[in-house]
Chains A and B, each alone.
Chain A
């Protein structure tokens, strides 16, 4: 090793060793965490709230043209008038029943198919490819056929919604069923669980997070499907109300419909999340 001249030797003063010591009398946290800090309750409302503020401010100052987008309070007053006339609750009820029916039967269909396809290889060979094909076909392209097959009544509408609902349920539940940890399979074997005990106590509970993820997509899918079917041919429902208002250029009624869709979607997503948190209390995640 070459010897450096004495002047070039880096000389470390004794005090320097202490410079990096943390000051312990400081009240601020001494370390920085990389994960997310604790979540604030209802924190997710901040974004929607900011949008509302922007919208209100824009409307009040005239920055937003009221003919293009009425002010937020117009949605409230028009909504109130529509309720007084009895129209709003009627349309809302019809729409909710439609979405609810489509959601219910879609979830049942999605779960049944996912179980058949997830728990048996043959079932998977038969079902999985078909569902993937269905995913590739847009719902809008199917509607003309659905009208041919199911007519233009309630039946067709529920079928369209169902079609949008069952796919996410199927995909996520199937994925979770097939993704069961092999270590748990070994455990079940050493505990001599019967096949049905294994399915009921290991596979199904393990697939619940996947099912709930699918359910959140499915609930949104139900409302989206509703928009589609109610704008095509309907004599009632929120979509019909919006369509009618469009013909008469009633921007305020259209706005009420839009806000209603948003609230319904938000409320149902909250409901699913709540259900999820109750059912999956065993999970410890970053977000909780």
Chain B
């Protein structure tokens, strides 16, 4: 399998204290990686390094990314003075830009909202527009920085299904930064745990399609990942304690 992203000995710091201390990571084409870590573990710094947004950082190392990279932020970040479709095609050139934009909007189930203003949409709808904007350029790498963090639980589940389906269709390599262990297991092919600027774990999810095997694999992964994140409490014991 060919590589979409190649990271070697990546180091980054903003002040004297290093934030990333020698990251080595490959992401294959079409691979979905979830990046877990506590606050301050450096996961956002890694994403911003790949997005080319770390202007103020000092550092060494290699980060090779493909030509077409898209970013989804925690906030939808739609320009309030552009209608929905104009937001999606922002920066897109070519005669078919609007057609592609409309197709992307239909993919996130918002067909017909082309001419709405961003403020007329709900939070979940705005984030779907942001997703459409990130996919309209057919990215080879999709970087998502806690994209569902600001959404309510029900909307988040719908967004999971949507993102899973769309990444299966468009096949970008995905790096999803999250602090939600369940979200990571649910969506990713591989979960990478970052701790104090180093990769603490790199686990292939390989979740069975359904049934008891899936449930038990999910639970095992969950315990393992929570352990890497320094959380010892088991959900079962929590439930028993109440």
A binds B: yes
Interface of A toward B, CB cutoff 8 Å: 183-184, 186-193, 197, 201-202, 205-206, 208, 280-284
Binary CB contact string for chain B from 94 to 129 against chain A (1 if under 8 A, 0 otherwise): 000000000000000000000001110000000000
The answer to whether residues A191 and B90 also contact, given A206-B81, A208-B81, A281-B117 and a CB cut-off of 8 A, is yes
The answer to whether residues A202 and B51 also contact, given A190-B70, A190-B71, A282-B119 and a CB cut-off of 8 A, is no
Number of interface residues of B (CB under 8 A): 19
The answer to whether the Cβ of B79 comes within 8 Å of any Cβ in the partner chain is yes
Contact A184 B91 (CB under 8 A): no
The 5 closest A-B pairs by CB, nearest first: A191-B91, A190-B71, A205-B81, A284-B119, A282-B81
7 contacts between A and B (CB under 8 A): A183-B73, A186-B77, A190-B53, A190-B71, A191-B90, A205-B79, A282-B117
Nearest-CB residue, chain B, relative to A198: B91
The answer to whether the Cβ of B52 comes within 8 Å of any Cβ in the partner chain is yes
The answer to whether the Cβ of B241 comes within 8 Å of any Cβ in the partner chain is no
Question: Shortest distance in angstroms between A226's beta carbon and chain B's nearest beta carbon?
Answer: 34
| B79 surroundings in chain A (CB, below 8 A) | 184, 187, 201-202, 205-206
Contact B119 A193 (CB under 8 A): no
Contact A184 B117 (CB under 8 A): no
| A282 surroundings in chain B (CB, below 8 A) | 80-83, 117-119
| A184 surroundings in chain B (CB, below 8 A) | 77, 79
| B221 surroundings in chain A (CB, below 8 A) | none
Binary CB contact string for chain B from 64 to 86 against chain A (1 if under 8 A, 0 otherwise): 00000111010101011111000
Nearest-CB residue, chain A, relative to B130: A187
| A191 surroundings in chain B (CB, below 8 A) | 90-91
Q: Assuming A183-B73, A280-B81, what are 8 further A-B pairs, CB within 8 angstroms?
A: A186-B77, A189-B52, A190-B69, A205-B82, A282-B82, A282-B83, A282-B119, A283-B80
Question: Which secondary structure dominates chain A's binding surface?
Answer: helix
Nearest-CB residue, chain B, relative to A191: B91
Nearest-CB residue, chain A, relative to B51: A190
Contact A186 B53 (CB under 8 A): yes
Question: Shortest distance in angstroms between A259's beta carbon and chain B's nearest beta carbon?
Answer: 39
Binary CB contact string for chain B from 29 to 60 against chain A (1 if under 8 A, 0 otherwise): 00000000000000000000001110000000
> A284–B69 Cα gap in the complex (Å)?
32
| B53 surroundings in chain A (CB, below 8 A) | 186, 189-190
Contact of A193 among B70, B75, B80, B91 (CB under 8 A): B91
> A208–B82 Cα gap in the complex (Å)?
13
| B77 surroundings in chain A (CB, below 8 A) | 183-184, 186-187
Contact of A201 among B71, B75, B83, B90 (CB under 8 A): B90
| B83 surroundings in chain A (CB, below 8 A) | 282
> A283–B77 Cα gap in the complex (Å)?
15
| A186 surroundings in chain B (CB, below 8 A) | 53, 73, 77
The answer to whether residues A193 and B90 also contact, given A183-B73, A202-B79, A208-B81 and a CB cut-off of 8 A, is yes
Nearest-CB residue, chain A, relative to B78: A187
> A99–B170 Cα gap in the complex (Å)?
59
> A87–B81 Cα gap in the complex (Å)?
47
Question: Shortest distance in angstroms between A53's beta carbon and chain B's nearest beta carbon?
Answer: 40
| A206 surroundings in chain B (CB, below 8 A) | 79, 81
Contact of B91 among A197, A205, A280, A284 (CB under 8 A): A197
| B90 surroundings in chain A (CB, below 8 A) | 191, 193, 201
Question: Shortest distance in angstroms between B70's beta carbon and chain A's nearest beta carbon?
Answer: 7
Question: Shortest distance in angstroms between B47's beta carbon and chain A's nearest beta carbon?
Answer: 11
Question: Shortest distance in angstroms between A243's beta carbon and chain B's nearest beta carbon?
Answer: 46
Question: Shortest distance in angstroms between A212's beta carbon and chain B's nearest beta carbon?
Answer: 12
Nearest-CB residue, chain B, relative to A279: B81
Nearest-CB residue, chain A, relative to B133: A191
| A187 surroundings in chain B (CB, below 8 A) | 73, 77, 79
Nearest-CB residue, chain B, relative to A204: B81
> A280–B75 Cα gap in the complex (Å)?
22
> A284–B118 Cα gap in the complex (Å)?
10
| A193 surroundings in chain B (CB, below 8 A) | 90-91
The answer to whether residues A183 and B75 also contact, given A189-B53, A197-B91 and a CB cut-off of 8 A, is yes
Nearest-CB residue, chain A, relative to B69: A190
Question: Shortest distance in angstroms between B48's beta carbon and chain A's nearest beta carbon?
Answer: 9
Question: Shortest distance in angstroms between B55's beta carbon and chain A's nearest beta carbon?
Answer: 9
> A20–B73 Cα gap in the complex (Å)?
44
| B117 surroundings in chain A (CB, below 8 A) | 281-282, 284
| B82 surroundings in chain A (CB, below 8 A) | 201, 205, 282
